[in-house]
Structure 1
Amino acid sequence: MSTNAVEVNAESTMNINVLYFASLADEANCQQETVTVQQSTSLTELYEQLCQKHRFSRPQSELRVAINDYFAKWTDQINDGDNVVFITPVAGG
């Protein structure tokens, strides 16, 4: 029975590759990292966890998000192995 518990526990997490650009890369002091989160973690929860870890100055409301090179909605699901990018506002000129 304990073997099943370990298997379920291992299956309940996923690894997400997070890429950072602009001010977020500066604040995180890296351009990418792999984070392990619970299977049910939302994009909003992921960003909140990373905000606590890196003390990001930008609120989620100012950012766009992309999953695997495609713009996504904050309500979209993330899966094990996904690449997630939080995109800061871009100024034109």
Structure 2
Amino acid sequence: MAASAQPGACIQVRLFASLREETGWSVQLVTPATTARTPLALWQQLELGPGEPPAGVRVAINQQFASWDAPLADGDELAFLPPISGG
């Protein structure tokens, strides 16, 4: 789903850890659908999982934690961060 539109019209989506491993990609430039202007809507547009994201997955917009319903603007960087366990 990489975008072919002008750079300012895209959102850079980053996946980390298990999300990156499950999908096989870490970064994509995406042109959101008209209705996909929140992290939750973009998660669903990219078909990263069925319906709601798994519990514990966090969202960051431009390297700041954000809510799943925060508005996205052209040129934003959106990151999905799964829970990370240490040891």
TM-score grouping bracket, smaller chain normalisation: 0.7 to 0.9
Matched residue count: 79
Runs (5+) with no aligned partner, structure 1 = 1-9
The answer to whether structure 1 residue 79 and structure 2 residue 56 are counterparts is no
**Gaps spanning 5+ residues in structure 2: where?**
none
- Of residues 32, 52, 64, the one that matches 1:37 is 32
TM-score of the superposed pair, with normalisation by structure 2: 0.75
- 1:40 CA displacement: 4.3
Identity of aligned residues (%): 36
How far has the Cα of 1:92 moved from its partner?
3.0
- How far does the alpha carbon of each residue in 1:22-66 deviate from its partner, in whole angstroms, 9 at most, with x for none? 111112211100011135422111001122xxx548x51421100
Does the CA contact (< 8 Å) of 1:65 and 1:71 recur in 2?
Answer: yes
- Could you state the TM-score of these two structures normalised by the residue count of structure 1? 0.71
For 1:65 and 1:87, locate their aligned partners in 2 and report how far apart those are by CA, in whole Å: 6
- Among 16, 25, 31, the alignment partner of 2:11 is 16
Structure with more of its chain in helix, by fraction: 1
Aligned-residue CA RMSD (Å): 2.6
> Which entry has the higher C-alpha Rg, 1 or 2?
1
